Structure 1
């Protein structure tokens, strides 16, 4: 998929839409730019996890994990589900998975080394 080429003949409506899209993209990138949040998303790619599971996987305290999950939830990247006293999280949609695939290819794929 090629990036669009923008000309100087952009309507006000198109410019407004570009500004909204740029703001949304910037907020998304800020949300995943934290190491802890990025690791949470990486773990959630494989499926739903409880807060306790994420604490164990990240070797992090509950307060830190909850804080990062709160930010991811605020940005619409994860969705919680309560089952009794346990709260589970999953990816909200395809966006985190798609961006994590690119990040993996760029930074974790040993075949490019």
Structure 2
């Protein structure tokens, strides 16, 4: 699927759909725009992690990690699972993984000038 072409002959419904998609994309980009949230997603690509594991991996306080996880959960990017007192998080779907691959290709990949 390519980028939408904004033409003068778009129907109101087509234009509304494009605006809705732009709104969703904007919310997604805002959610991943924080380096802490981006790093959490990077760690979750390899599999489910507990909040305690993420604290250690990020060298961050529990409150900070929980705050970022809350935002990612609100945006539907991660899902929690409780096991006793521990809470584990995993990616909600494949969207974050695809995004991280694109970001890697743009900023770290072999095609970088």
TM-score using structure 2 length: 0.94
Map Cα deviations across residues 19-67 of structure 1 (whole Å, 9 max, x no partner).
Answer: 1111110000000000000000000001100000000000000000000
Over aligned residue pairs, what C-alpha RMSD do you find?
1.3
* Residue 50 of structure 1: aligned partner: 50
Unaligned runs of at least 5 residues, structure 1? none
Greater than 6 Å deviation, 4+ residue runs: none
* Residue 4 of structure 2: aligned partner: 4
* Residue 103 of structure 1: aligned partner: 103
* Residue 73 of structure 2: aligned partner: 73
Matched, 1:38 2:32: no
Q: Contact between 2:105 and 2:111, CA under 8 Å: does it hold in 1?
A: no
- CA distance in 2 between partners of 1:109 and 1:54 (Å): 25
- CA distance in 2 between partners of 1:23 and 1:98 (Å): 19
- CA distance in 1 between partners of 2:4 and 2:13 (Å): 17
Count of residue pairs brought into register by the alignment: 113
